[in-house]
Amino acid sequence: MTQLAHASHWLAQVAYVAPVLVLLVVLGITSLRDRRRERRGEGSPGPGGAIGRHTRS
């Protein structure tokens, strides 16, 4: 039973840490994408991101 108790403690800690890790990964990916855009000369999408850039034809 002690192994099961330890596993539940680890799972409880993961439940607290997982959202923070996901946020850090998303911020890192966004940062890399912005750097690549700047290197290519595309600039930043501005406020609102990609929303509203595409028009229907």
Please give the Cα distance from 21 to 27 (Å, whole number): 10
**CB burial string 1-33: b at 16+ within 10 A, e below:** eeeeeeeeeeeeeeeeeeeeeeeeeeeeeeeee
For residue 20, the SS3 value is: helix
Instruction: Report the pLDDT value the prediction gives residue 30, as an integer from 0 to 100.
Output: 96
**pTM given for the model:** 0.55
In tens, the pLDDT along 4-24 reads 667 888 888 888 899 999 999
